[in-house]
């Protein structure tokens, strides 16, 4: 009945219900009374579910509207994508047999101190603060949903693909004991061989392989790295740490898409607020002074398993968008507990 109501078939279901009750008039009085009582219970349940689900859908839609405003006002597409990745990326399938939310994942636990203050998440508290007003305005929407919605919306607003997102995630009430920093997240300069490192990280996730590794790496077409956050570059926030693509003049001119003028850091691409396939040109190899190409980036072009996808996405933005959208959806649902179980689409 819930599914039917979600599809807008309330009147059909009501008509079927009353037709069935009328047919019972030929039955003995006791049966009719019992059937009528049962029908009333079902009807009230349908009405209650409809009101609750309608309120959630309304708030989910309102949350997206508010997120659009936040992104456009702050040009914060990259940090919102980063936040969602680091929430869902804690997932480890070796713990999925334990009671939820032991395996981690897209459960909203990045908002807790153990995670948000850890090294891999340096600077991401800013993203949570940007989304605080959304949560206040839409209390029925979970943090897990808001975080993942913000990421998918940012990708779309930056010119990327529309992702088939599912909502209704339940929030964890604490960071799982099994989640220990650095939470199995990727490292720009891993101690082991870069390809092996990436496969180890993605090997923790359900249904992720070389295709997903290369596609999701392409999200680095957005954003910058900062010394005070990842520590993977020497470029800090502010004009002193800027490159020719992240200086105030470049940002204010809107060359990198819409921008709030914040300078500093070092980007993978020249248009770091535009989602396209330019990441796969590996600009940092040709212009290391101004652009990034970490070992975990360059290995995608040389490793035998990664290279076919790398070349495919470099040649076709459409192919990249298709695989990215599917991979992003997978990532956004890792470890999630949906209510209702089938999720909610808006």
CA 119 to mean position of chain CA atoms: 20
Say which residue the tokens 């600009």 belong to: 283
DSSP codes joined into one string, 59-83: HHHHHHHHHHHHHHHHT-HHHHHHH
Residue 29 neighbours by CB distance under 10 Å: 8
Q: Is 86 a catalytic residue?
A: yes
CA distance 103 to 98: 7
Catalytic residue among 82, 86, 95, 197: 86
Half-sphere exposure at residue 120, Cβ-oriented, CA atoms within 13 angstroms: 22
> What pairs with residue 167 in β-bridges?
344
266 dihedral zone (left: phi>0; alpha: psi -120 to 50; beta): beta
CA distance 218 to 170: 29
| Catalytic center residues | 86
């Amino acid at each position: 009945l819930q599914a039917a109501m979600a599809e807008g078939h309330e009147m059909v279901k009501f008509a079927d219900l009353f037709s069935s009750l009328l047919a019972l008039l030929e039955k003995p009085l006791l049966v009719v009374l019992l059937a009528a009582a049962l029908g009333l219970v079902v009807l009230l349940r349908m009405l209650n579910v409809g009101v609750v689900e309608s309120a959630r859908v309304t708030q989910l839609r309102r949350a997206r509207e508010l997120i659009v405003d936040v992104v456009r006002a702050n040009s914060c597409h990259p940090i919102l994508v980063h936040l969602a990745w680091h929430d869902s990326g804690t997932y480890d399938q070796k713990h999925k047999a334990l009671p939820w939310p032991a395996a981690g994942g897209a459960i909203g636990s990045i908002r807790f101190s153990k995670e948000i203050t850890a090294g891999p998440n340096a600077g991401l508290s800013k993203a949570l603060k940007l989304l605080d007003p959304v949560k206040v305005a839409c209390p029925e929407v979970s943090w897990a949903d808001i975080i993942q919605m913000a990421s998918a919306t940012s990708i779309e607003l930056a010119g990327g693909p529309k992702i088939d997102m599912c909502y209704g995630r339940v929030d964890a009430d604490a960071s799982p004991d099994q989640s220990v920093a650095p939470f199995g997240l990727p490292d720009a300069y891993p101690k082991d061989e870069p390809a092996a490192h990436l496969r180890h990280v993605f090997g923790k996730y359900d249904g992720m392989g070389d295709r997903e590794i290369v596609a999701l790496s392409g999200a680095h077409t957005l954003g910058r790295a900062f010394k005070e956050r990842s520590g993977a570059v020497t470029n800090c926030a502010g004009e002193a740490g800027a490159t020719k693509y992240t200086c105030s003049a470049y940002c204010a001119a809107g060359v990198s898409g819409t921008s709030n003028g914040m300078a500093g850091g070092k980007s993978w691409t020249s248009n770091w607020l535009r989602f396209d396939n330019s990441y796969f040109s590996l600009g940092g190899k040709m212009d290391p002074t101004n652009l990034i190409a970490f070992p975990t980036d360059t290995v995608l072009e040389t490793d035998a398993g990664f290279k076919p996808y790398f070349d495919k996405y470099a040649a076709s933005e459409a192919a990249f968008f298709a695989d990215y959208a599917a991979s992003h959806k997978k990532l956004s649902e890792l470890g999630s507990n949906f209510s209702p179980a089938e999720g909610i689409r808006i």
